[in-house]
Amino acid sequence: MNILVLETDLKTILGVVDAFESFIWTDRYSECGDFQIDLPASTEFVNLFQLDRFILFSESEHVMVIEKVVIKTDAADGDHMTVYGRSFESVLDRRIVWVQTILSGNLQRGVKKLLNENVIAPSSADRAIPNLLFADSSDTSITSLTLSAQFTGDSIYDAVSSICVAAGIGFKITFNQDTQQFTFALYNGVNRTVDQGLVSSVIFSPYFDNLIDSNYAASSEKYKNTALVLGEGEGVERSRVELTYGLTGLARRELYVDARDLSTRTQDGELTQEQYIQQLSQRGHEKLADCTVEFAFDGSVDNNSTFRPGADFDLGDIVTVQNEYGLYKNCRIVEMIHSINDHENLIYPSFEEV
């Protein structure tokens, strides 16, 4: 296991970190990850952990950017420092959708259009993030997806993340030290549940001695399943879409979505009514995707268990999880947390019901 600090040019290795008090590294499926290192303060570490430098961790394919350093002096307990940062996916938050952009049809091509026009090869070279490529996926679970959406001024990160969350897919930016290139890719995890018969199943359960402890929570407080989406226009003349799914009575939970930022007038001409309704529907689906019943299931996994991260399961995979009380769920691994200190080295997957 190696933790490396790289200069902002990503070529120079400035140091290997092995004297920390605790280290937490979190990779996420449809969002950027983050890290935290707690260690004794010293001139060496203060000089090493500078803002905008990069962290590499041998157990992850992601790269983290140092964004915050906190130093606390304490006469009794000694001086300590904490270093924080997020994964390289967060740099997409440094760019916005510069001009109104209409996405219609293939989802992957739509995401590629957003990145090409605002991050990879924008018309203004000043906006380009160097050495970033887009890798087209050939996975049919990605290539078969469609969308109809409109963005103006949105953060590229927010736009990409909202598209992926609504579609149930992940995105990542990986770094190749040999070529000095970053690669953006959409991906979908592998179904490894007991309900399928194509690949070996992965079951996390105390009965198999591979789930050391677990936390389970279920909440419907923020749950919405019906949406009224209003677009451009005034008063009762505003364009509208109702996503009701035939729900009635107490089973129906309504959400209002203000989509007046979506316009039929675009730089490429006027949208048809059908195209505009599709965009309003897409916005409604995205907002409802943020208001699902929340099932939180996480637990620490025995590193010496039958199933090994990176070999038998990975971030984004769908697995079967069962706790001591017989609660049984097929869940996607949406987070992979590595927690290391003087006493133990644990991996905490976070699960989200599919």
* Residue 271 or residue 215, greater confidence: 271
pTM for this model (two decimals): 0.83
Cβ contacts of residue 211 below 8 Å, gap of 6+?
204, 205, 299, 300, 301, 302, 321, 323
Q: Are 329 and 214 in contact (CB under 8 A)?
A: no
Instruction: Please determine, for residue 179, whether its predicted confidence score (pLDDT) is greater than 80.
Output: yes
How far apart are the C-alpha atoms of 350 and 334, rounded to whole Å?
Answer: 6
The end-to-end CA distance of the chain, in Å, is: 32
Q: Which of 67, 88, 109 is the last residue of a domain?
A: 88
Instruction: Please determine, for residue 266, whether its predicted confidence score (pLDDT) is greater than 90.
Output: no
DSSP annotation of 51: T
For residues 64 and 15, membership in a common domain is answered with yes
Structural domain includes residue 137: yes
How far apart are the C-alpha atoms of 114 and 184, rounded to whole Å?
Answer: 12
Instruction: Please determine, for residue 274, whether its predicted confidence score (pLDDT) is greater than 80.
Output: yes
Q: Are 304 and 328 in contact (CB under 8 A)?
A: no
With residues binned 3-state (H G I as helix, E B as strand, rest as coil), the percentages for the chain, rounded to 5, are: 20, 40, 40
For residues 107 and 44, membership in a common domain is answered with no
How far apart are the C-alpha atoms of 191 and 168, rounded to whole Å?
Answer: 13
Instruction: Please determine, for residue 302, whether its predicted confidence score (pLDDT) is greater than 70.
Output: no
Structural domain includes residue 299: yes
DSSP annotation of 335: E
pLDDT digits (tens, 9 = 90+) for 12-46: 999 999 889 999 999 999 999 999 999 999 999 99
Q: Which domain holds residue 244?
A: 226-289
**Strand 132-135 versus strand 181-187 pairing type:** parallel
How many domains does one find in the chain? 4
CATH code where residue 51 lies = 2.40.30
Looking at residue 73, its amino acid is: T
